[in-house]
Amino acid sequence: MKDIKIVIPSHKRWNRVRTTSAVYGAALCVEESQADMYRKCNPGIEIITHPDTVIGLTRKREWMIRNLGDVFMLDDDIDHLSRIYTEKGEDSVVDPDVAHDLIQMTAHAARQAGAFLFGFSSSPTPISYNSLNPVQLSGYVTGCAHGVLAESKLWYNGDIHCNEDYWISLLNAHHHRLIWKDTRFYWAQKDTFTNRGGLAEFRNVENEEKDFLLLRKVFGNVVELRKSTGKSNLRHPFQKSLRLPY
């Protein structure tokens, strides 16, 4: 299996891309009209362009998997890859070149297992890590860091504005059942949800509600509204949770 393409989809954040420092060898995927600004602000980084008619992150992801083959996608506001299973006092930050190799090895393992969707832990806390089950074969991937291998039945619905990770995880459960998640590592983000540009341009409560209704219509009651608990408050009333049967 040849190396998987590591790509950072970005939009109007040419001078605020963090992720190129978190992993070696990643390319930026941007609109043609923004390419010059991204090249100017990110020297030495490969720039992949798509037509300006491809609007929104979900449609950008769809364009990427149709045109780039095997691809691992990282949001542009990621600070580093973190190792969850560290001992007390041990540095958890993974070097960018090691992060690159971990993506390649995880993609290869997923392919060998017969999975098409793969990713890493969705929780940064060591208490959520199960050392007896470091690789999960069911569940969901986070939008900020996940990979899709070619020849799958997966696609991104352009009518989903903010929750393409829910869509792709549910679709994968329906078609392929199997997922590959290495829960030993977590991609740490900065400025999520409020950072100017990127998905923040499309993310609002109205679109969150539309996404919930569409996901519920297509996939049924496995899509639930998350309830507020004493430990955490909801950022908006349409935060979701999944009860995946696979």
For residues 10, 11, 15, 20, the Cα torsion angle rounded to the nearest 10 degrees is: 0
Q: What is the pLDDT of residue 201?
A: 52
Six token digits for residue 22? 């978190």
Q: Judge whether 72 lies within some domain.
A: yes
- Give the containing element (helix H, strand E) for 103: helix 96-113
Round to the nearest angstrom and report the end-to-end CA distance of the chain. 27
59 domain residue, yes or no: yes
Query: What's the number of CA atoms in the CB half-sphere (13 Å) around residue 40?
Result: 7
Its domain, for residue 60, covers 5-191
In total, how many domains does the chain have? 1
pLDDT < 70 positions in the chain: 1, 191-203, 228-234
pLDDT of residue 194: 47
Flag whether 151 is in a domain: yes
CATH number at residue 155: 3.90.550
Residue 152: closest CA among 186, 133, 185, 180: 180
For residue 60, being part of any structural domain is answered with: yes
In a domain, 231, yes or no: no
* DSSP string of 76-89, one letter each residue: TTEEEEEETTPPTT
Run of H or E residues at 96: helix 96-113
Percent of the chain scoring above 70 in pLDDT: 91
User: CA-to-CA distance for 155 and 65, rounded, in angstroms?
Assistant: 8
Q: What pLDDT, on a 0 to 100 scale, did the predictor assign at position 191?
A: 63
107 in any annotated domain: yes
pTM of the complete model: 0.90
Q: What is the chain's Cα-based Rg? A: 17
pLDDT at residue 193, as a whole number: 47
3-state SS string for 187-225:
EEECCCCCCCCHHHHCCCHHHHHHHHHHHHHHHHHHEEE
Cα(77)–Cα(85) distance, integer angstroms: 23
